Amino acid sequence: MLKNFNPNKAFFLTTKILKTLFFIFIIILIIGLTESLWISPEDYKQSHSVRIMYVHVPSAWISLGIFAFIGILSLFNFIFKNKNFSLIAKSLSTSGFVFCIIALVTGSIWGYPTWGTWWVWDARITSMLLLSIFYLMYILSWKVFEKNINQEKISSIIAIIGMINVPIIKFSVDWWNTLHQNATVKIFSKSSIHPSMMLPLLIMTVAFALFSLIIFIMEYRAEVVKLKNKGLDRL
């Protein structure tokens, strides 16, 4: 299917779904903010400052997931020698970087009332900072090496190397003694977070994921326009 990629068809399909996705995103975001800011209880220790969690945690999850996907797509590009993988990965990078920065900023804001400081060289925080650097390197590589015939290869190498940092971020709280608490949301075992806090957390995660998808489609459409301007109907 990827070998028969048609930019014109892709542009038409994304145009149809973009408005629908944006409408769904707004509805879910309103529900999520209502749950997060008014319905969910305050924490007995952190009081209302815990509400930053509903932006911080989903942002971290989304940025981490997107970079992992970019790394996998870049690896596929090496294996299958197909430019479509790079096209998708490049289109994903902007939203991933934005959410990575949001996670760092909100984490710093949340850390001050919780830890008494804006920043510490905690394993989780430091590895997230490293992720933002890899995002920036990946995005800049497409611009700096724009006229280089090895542009895709350079970008892919950055993404694949950066992917090593993903499990480090995930398991940093288990491997090292950090200020971050251990994971309270778990997939394969019972989560320790209260359901009244879990619900708005999941709703906000869905909202942010939809927003990422919208940004991806917009970036993807821009890349498709570039292809059309180059006179390429297929890759």
Domain at 10-229: CATH architecture? Up-down Bundle (1.20)
Query: DSSP letters along 135-176, please?
Result: HHHHHHHHHHTTT-TTHHHHHHHHHHHHTTHHHHHHHHHHHS
Q: Domain residue spans in the chain?
A: 10-229
- Whole-number mean pLDDT of the chain? 85
Give the model's confidence band at 8: pLDDT under 50 very low, under 70 low, under 90 confident, else very high. low
As a whole number, mean pLDDT of residues 61-70 equals: 96
Tens digit of each residue's pLDDT (9 = 90 or more) over 138-182: 999 998 887 767 788 999 999 999 999 999 998 887 777 777 766
